[in-house]
């Protein structure tokens, strides 16, 4: 019989044991009677010979080898009974634990899904993204098509695929709709290791200019426009003015830096920039060939980029190519936020555990007599320790299970609460690793708060414990209790100061001037009619029509076109210099450039400092002009007047351009990020002077901005209708008010602040209840002493002071230790959070008194109770 069947047939085994022993006694008795004893004597003698029947049974049970499990079950039952007896205590501890473990599990689930779990492609560790690097521009994602073609031809270590953003209007069948798209090279699906869910991917002969237009569409577009019907494959739809045949449907969760709806072959793109070695607009993703290490691929890339630089010095001088693991690229800078939150929530859990540990300790002390009694009756110490730990572990596991349920319920909500989109959001779920983690931390926290009481199981001087009821030995526990209170306060202060720093930062950021008037300002990307796009000569006129239509909409004050919108929506960095001599590498000045229409400053509310802004007279035929911001003016010309000076801008041709005005600086990189961004100079050029070859591309990224007289969203519908244009196939998309954009630029800081604030509040609450509990207990232990003091003439005030002083000492020590921790945490925050204010005294000045006050308030009640002690009763209690 193996041990588990012995365990499950326990009842039967018990019966058999009873029967066996009874048989023994009966036989012995009969024998003795047979030898002439009286039945009474015989029975007695047989019993004596066997020894105590119960002891024999106990030893037989030990022999079964299932003892530890039976003990565990017994202890668990005992624990559950004890919990039932104290439903309030149990409910509160369970609630604290479930919340703590639940919150930690949610954070860990996100960390696990986003950062730890490998990407869901086959052999994801072999996937890399390629980046370009120059010392002037730093690292950037884009490649030029000729460079990439050469790289693909020459590389032996990488299978390289390419893609770039696309998008356009689907005009038939059905209502016109602007959709995002991607232009991809034929090998992209293969390189990633995925296949379309239906149909096929592109073939090499479709990925070249002049081939018949074909498209792979997204799962969501398939369901939206084709009702998920398999007959969609082979059907035709009009996209960007051209009929495309659907050949495949991408897997449901497929994304390339966000969702695209239409995938078209990159090779069919005939724009001039496809041949331009300086147009870096193509993303490259690659798979390491079998047996090739990342470092070998890096070395090969370095070699090829050097060769290209020699061959094409004009475009490739100083350009290096780098490879990074794909996962790193996809996840981006979310990692720091996630680790920060996991640490913060871990601190809250730690405080919760310390809190419960002190509650348990308090309880264990009141049970000390019981434990001493059981030791005196022969219980082994290890057995009692085991019992104590079982009791808390049961609580821990129950709390953990509740926590997992809470996490499962809360995880989606949390992901939705995340500012912007969380990368890999669709992959976030609770898996076995999360379960192991949650059960692990519940057991760990369970044993943690069970350990302290368990070590209190008396080993020596039993009779003293029994006689005194534990009161005489209060010194040791008081030290432990004090340690609990001190660590709770220290941890709480770390969280409070962190939250304080974030709060301070938010206040500072909100008070910054974004450099424009954020009110009554609406921005949107704009998809021009495919018919207009097909006719490059008419593009300027088509855009002029858009502006004229926008101005006609009631409530619109000004309207302007721009290729980038402040607050990080788009970027276009170009080099400039103040002399005609080509600048040395490393010394190129970089500015953020945008092409705008004359009303741009009126729409945005950017102040004009000097000179003028553009007018309708700045056209193709007139002199090429630019307007710069005050940063560029200061940077390039110091205190001298910038208006009338010339800039040499390679991206705008060989001839210099004249500066006609200086405007205020706009915090383009967000309220938080702008001060630390690489590119802080800004430069505007007239949209009307954009060279014709660039117009087709620029037209696909243009946005419209309007200043309204009233709330901007009120004018949106009228604007949408009016801008559909004569052919009814133009669309607004990505519509935002400037207020939304400014707010989104500090969303990460606000998100961190709200969560840290929540955690800090919880920590404060837990720390205060902890102090209250511990102090009530310690004061309770001191009742006889206080009674004596009062009998000897101590006043109520003196007793209050005595208790509060004791508490004050603990609190100050906790705050001192916590301040050191908070300084460290502040340093970490400052490094990881953009726009963070340096650690100043402010959060300490606010948070230390707050915590001190709250802690003293929590101490006040026990102190008052101590001062109300009736000395006569107190002494009689002794």
Partner 1 sequence: MQKTDLPQGTLDLLILKVVAVEPVHGYAIAQRLDQVSRGVVQVPEGSLYPALHRLENRGLLTADWKQTESGREAKFYSLTRKGRKQFEADSANWARLIQAVGLILGMADGGTR
Which residues of the shown chain bind partner 1 in the complex (CB under 8 A)?
Answer: 1, 6, 16, 19-21, 23-24, 26-28, 30, 49-52, 55-56, 59-60, 62-65
CB-based contacts of 37: which residues, under 8 Å, 6+ apart? 45
Q: And the tokens for 277?
A: 């070695």
Measured in whole angstroms, how far is the alpha carbon of residue 10 from the centre of its chain?
51
Four-CA torsion 546, 547, 549, 552, nearest 10 degrees? 170
- The answer to whether 428 touches 112, Cβ cutoff 8 Å, is no
CB-based contacts of 194: which residues, under 8 Å, 6+ apart? 121, 251, 254
Distance between CA atoms of residues 512 and 813, nearest Å: 38
- The answer to whether 497 touches 756, Cβ cutoff 8 Å, is no
- The answer to whether 323 touches 294, Cβ cutoff 8 Å, is yes
Shortest distance (Å) from residue 384 CB to partner 1 = 24
| Bond into 626 cis (ω within 30) | no
Q: Which is nearer to partner 1, 55 or 311 (CB)?
A: 55
Shortest distance (Å) from residue 381 CB to partner 1 = 23
CB-based contacts of 115: which residues, under 8 Å, 6+ apart? 331, 334, 335, 338
Shortest distance (Å) from residue 46 CB to partner 1 = 9
CB neighbourhood size of 871 (10 A)? 17
Q: Which is nearer to partner 1, 57 or 645 (CB)?
A: 57
If we measure between CA atoms, which residue out of 567, 584, 566 comes closest to residue 575? Answer: 584
Helices (DSSP H) in 625-737: which residue ranges? 630-637, 670-673, 692-699, 716-722
Distance between CA atoms of residues 540 and 132, nearest Å: 33
Distance between CA atoms of residues 10 and 4, nearest Å: 10
CB-based contacts of 625: which residues, under 8 Å, 6+ apart? 614, 618, 657, 658, 659, 660, 685, 686, 689
Q: Where are any strands of DSSP class E within 250-316?
A: 262-265, 283-288
Instruction: Tell me which residue has tokens 């909500």.
Output: 413
DSSP 251: -
Helix (H) or strand (E) holding 753: helix 747-781
Distance between CA atoms of residues 109 and 102, nearest Å: 10
Shortest distance (Å) from residue 6 CB to partner 1 = 7
Distance between CA atoms of residues 494 and 344, nearest Å: 9
Q: How far does the chain reach from its first CA to its final CA, in angstroms?
A: 57
- The answer to whether 300 touches 155, Cβ cutoff 8 Å, is yes
Helices (DSSP H) in 367-473: which residue ranges? 368-376, 381-417, 432-455, 462-468
């Amino acid at each position: 019989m193996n041990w588990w069947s012995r365990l499950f047939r326990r009842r039967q085994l018990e019966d058999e044991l009873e029967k066996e022993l009874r048989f023994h006694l009966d036989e012995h008795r009969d024998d003795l009677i047979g030898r002439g004893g009286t039945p009474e004597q015989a029975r007695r003698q047989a019993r004596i010979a066997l020894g105590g029947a119960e002891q024999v049974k106990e030893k037989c049970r030990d022999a079964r080898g299932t003892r530890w499990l039976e003990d565990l079950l017994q202890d668990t039952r005992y624990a559950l009974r004890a919990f039932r007896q104290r439903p309030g205590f149990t409910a509160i501890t369970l609630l604290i634990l479930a919340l703590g473990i639940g919150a930690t599990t949610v954070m860990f689930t996100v960390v696990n899904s986003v950062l730890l779990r490998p990407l869901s492609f086959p052999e994801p560790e072999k996937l890399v993204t390629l980046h370009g690097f120059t010392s002037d521009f730093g690292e950037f994602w884009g490649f030029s098509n000729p460079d990439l073609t050469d790289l693909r031809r020459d590389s032996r270590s990488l299978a390289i695929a390419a893609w770039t953003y696309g998008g356009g209007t689907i005009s038939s069948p059905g209502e016109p709709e602007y959709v995002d798209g991607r232009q991809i090279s034929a090998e992209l699906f293969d390189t990633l290791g995925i296949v379309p869910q239906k149909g096929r991917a592109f073939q090499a002969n479709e990925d070249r200019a002049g081939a018949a237009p074909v498209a792979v569409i997204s799962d969501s577009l398939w369901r939206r426009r084709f009702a998920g019907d398999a007959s969609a494959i082979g059907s035709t739809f009009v996209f960007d003015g051209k009929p495309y045949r659907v050949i495949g449907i991408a897997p449901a969760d497929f994304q390339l830096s966000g969702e695209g709806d239409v995938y078209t072959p990159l090779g069919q793109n005939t724009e001039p920039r496809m041949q331009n070695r300086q147009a870096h607009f193509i993303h490259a993703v690659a798979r390491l060939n079998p047996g090739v290490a990342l470092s070998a691929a890096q070395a090969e890339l370095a070699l090829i980029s050097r060769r290209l630089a020699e061959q094409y010095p004009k475009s490739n001088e100083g350009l290096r190519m780098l490879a990074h693991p794909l996962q790193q690229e996809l996840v981006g800078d979310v990692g720091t936020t996630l680790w920060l939150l996991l640490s913060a929530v871990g601190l809250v859990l730690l405080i919760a555990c310390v809190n419960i540990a002190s509650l348990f300790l308090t309880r264990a002390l009141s049970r000390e007599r019981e434990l001493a009694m059981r030791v005196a009756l022969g219980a082994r110490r290890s057995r009692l320790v085991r019992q104590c730990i079982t009791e808390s572990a049961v609580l821990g596991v129950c709390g953990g299970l509740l926590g997992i349920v809470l996490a499962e319920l809360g995880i989606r909500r949390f992901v939705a609460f995340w500012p912007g989109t969380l990368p890999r959001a669709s992959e976030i779920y609770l898996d076995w690793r999360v379960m192991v983690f949650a059960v692990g931390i519940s057991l760990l926290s369970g044993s943690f708060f069970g350990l302290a009481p368990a070590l209190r199981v008396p080993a020596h001087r039993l009779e003293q414990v029994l006689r005194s009821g534990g009161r005489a030995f209060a010194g040791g526990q008081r030290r432990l209790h004090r340690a609990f209170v001190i660590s709770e306060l220290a941890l709480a202060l770390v969280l409070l100061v962190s939250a304080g720093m974030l709060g301070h930062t938010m206040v500072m950021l909100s008070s910054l001037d974004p450099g424009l008037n954020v009110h009554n300002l609406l921005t949107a990307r704009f998809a021009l009619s495919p018919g207009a796009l097909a006719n490059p000569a008419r593009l300027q006129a088509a855009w002029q029509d858009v502006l004229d239509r926008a101005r006609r909409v009631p409530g619109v004050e000004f309207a302007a076109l721009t290729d980038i919108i402040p607050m990080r929506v788009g970027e276009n960095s170009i080099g400039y210099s103040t002399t005609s001599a080509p600048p040395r590498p490393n010394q190129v000045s970089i500015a953020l450039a945008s092409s705008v229409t004359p009303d741009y400053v009126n729409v945005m509310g950017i102040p004009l400092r000097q000179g003028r802004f553009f007018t309708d007279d700045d056209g193709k035929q007139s002199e090429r002009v630019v307007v710069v911001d005050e940063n560029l003016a200061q940077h390039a010309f110091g205190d001298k007047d910038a208006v009338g000076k010339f800039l040499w801008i390679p991206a705008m041709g060989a001839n210099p351009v004249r500066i006609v005005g200086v405007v205020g600086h706009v915090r383009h990189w967000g309220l938080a990020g702008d001060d630390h961004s690489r590119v802080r100079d800004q430069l505007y050029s007239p949209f009307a002077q954009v060279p014709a070859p660039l117009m087709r591309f620029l037209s696909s990224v243009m946005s419209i901005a309007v200043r309204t007289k009233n709330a901007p969203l009120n004018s949106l519908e009228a604007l949408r209708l009016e801008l559909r244009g004569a052919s009814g196939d133009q669309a607004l998309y990505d519509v935002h008010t400037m207020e939304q954009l400014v707010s989104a630029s500090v969303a990460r800081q606000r998100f961190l602040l709200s969560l840290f604030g929540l955690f800090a509040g919880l920590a404060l609450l837990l720390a205060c209840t902890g102090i209250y509990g511990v102090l009530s207990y310690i004061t309770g232990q001191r009742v006889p002493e206080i009674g004596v003091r009062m009998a000897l003439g101590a006043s109520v005030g003196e007793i209050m002071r005595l208790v509060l002083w004791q508490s004050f000492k603990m609190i100050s020590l906790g705050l001192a230790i916590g301040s050191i921790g908070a300084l460290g945490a502040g340093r970490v925050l400052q490094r990881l959070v953009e726009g963070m204010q340096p650690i100043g005294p402010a959060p300490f000045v606010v948070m230390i008194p707050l915590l001190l006050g709250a802690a003293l308030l929590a101490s006040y009640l026990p102190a008052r109770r101590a001062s109300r002690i009736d000395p006569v009763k107190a002494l009689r209690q002794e």
